[in-house]
Structure 1
Amino acid sequence: MTLSFFDQFMSPVLMGIPLMFLALTLPWALFAKPSPRVLNSRMVALQTWSIMGFVKQIFQPLSTPAHKWAMILTSVMMFIITMNLLGLLPYTFTPTTQLSLNLGLAVPLWLATVILGMRNQPTHALGHLLPEGTPPLLIPLLIIIETISLFIRPLALGVRLTANLTAGHLLIQLISTAAFTLISIMPTVAFLTGLLLFLLTFLEVAVAMIQAYVFVLLLSLYLQENV
């Protein structure tokens, strides 16, 4: 039976039980945990260095009230990176290829930034809906456009992450299928195709990390507008 290329994005089920919960909890078990020893392991040191570098890069341009979000945004980025990278392993499932999961991460965090802005500085938050110096005839139209652009932000966050990972997985499967098909017909072409697949895998590793960084970076920009 010929399977669809999109079957890889279906949520796995074992004995009628969805394994999505296992796919979501496994990344946390893979993080290295600090020990009470004076010197930590290389993995813990690398993990700590990466997290500190990320926090410095994201929160340095933000004001002091936004620094309270450092823990949650760092956790979200590490969580997304781990799920993306685990999805590149054979016979695994990538939860972040599901739009429902990505929107479940994007909508609450975006809504929290909006509520924070409306609570702390409502005049400034509402001022984004109407640029200064707008002609009176364009005021209703601009308010509608800015409101739509505001509410489309979480959708853009979720769709961007889903689309990039889905496209990468589909491309890898297409190229690997072509390599296996050509290996008995044109071995040289199959070898070159396999080499291309090898390079594409490295590209997908970079995409998995970059997309998680972009997801959190955009959230930090939304936070910067509301603090």
Structure 2
Amino acid sequence: MPVGFFEQFMSPVYLGIPLIAVAIVMPWFFVATPGPRWLNSRLLTLQSWFISRFNYQLLMPLKMGGHKWAVLFTTLMLFLMSLNVLGLLPYTFTPTTQLSMNLGLAVPLWLTTVLIGMRNQPTESLGHLLPEGTPTLLIPVLIIIETISLFIRPLALGVRLTANLTAGHLLIQLIATAAFVLTTIMPTVAILTSVVLFLLTLLEVAVAMIQAYVFVLLLSLYLQENI
């Protein structure tokens, strides 16, 4: 049992092997792959339908140049969703609660979208830093503000994912601890607390899936501005 509530977010090491590396590899074993059969299984059919709907919703607003990112976005979506949901299981570790990992995903992808915009349409990309019709006196201030806003995007991506998952895990642990303590003192309240814990767990599963989608969706919006 963790000594402190935040100890669950520490990267554990077992036999000298950091378990964060094992957790990152785990999603690859949970994604079904097509076989030689003509008819797919129900799981594979459901997975294919989900991926096609996700690609349709994500890539529909993008120009044709952005459709090259379909495989990357789909892989990133499945990867983050698997890590977030698997982290809710007992005796597991959630790598996406580590800000360093989330920034490691956000910064290179954000920087790639910016470099694509600078290469393909440098005038329009730089034009985002200064809205049309800006008064002359406000031009230096707005350029500074928009530049800071541009560079804060990857930080916002990483912090959003980390904060949402960390807050959910902490709340689940607090309510679970309260239900365990109240079991012998006030059984009726403990039952009600357990019901709240169950509902919160369902909510956290939804949050884990939604946050993975939001992460990829924001990256697609950044890409849309630069293609």
**TM-score of the aligned structures, taking structure 1 as reference length:** 0.98
Which 5+ residue runs of structure 2 have no aligned equivalent? none
175-184 or 22-31: which moved more? Answer: 22-31
Partner residue, 2:195: 195
SS in 1 for 2:131: coil
Distance 1:58 1:3 in 2: 42
- 1:79 equivalent to 2:79? Answer yes
Partner residue, 1:158: 158
Partner residue, 1:53: 53
Deviations 1:109-150 (A, max 9, x none): 100000000000000000000111111111111110000000
Which 5+ residue runs of structure 1 have no aligned equivalent? none
Equivalent residue letter for 1:193: T
Equivalent residue letter for 1:135: P
Partner residue, 1:38: 38
Partner residue, 1:140: 140
> 1:82 offset after TM fit, Å?
0.2
RMSD (CA atoms): 1.0
**TM-score of the aligned structures, taking structure 2 as reference length:** 0.98
Deviations 1:3-50 (A, max 9, x none): 100010000101232111111001111111110100011111111110
Partner residue, 2:102: 102
Partner residue, 1:170: 170
Distance 2:2 2:201 in 1: 24
Q: How many residues align?
A: 227
Distance 1:131 1:160 in 2: 27
Instruction: Give the percent of matched residue pairs that are identical in Structure 1 and Structure 2.
Output: 72
Distance 1:28 1:213 in 2: 18
**Displaced runs of 4+ in structure 1, greater than 6 A?**
none
Distance 2:2 2:55 in 1: 46
Cα separation, partners in 2 of 1:25 and 1:2, compared to 1, 3 Å: closer
Deviations 1:148-203 (A, max 9, x none): 00000000000000000000000000000000000000000000000000000100
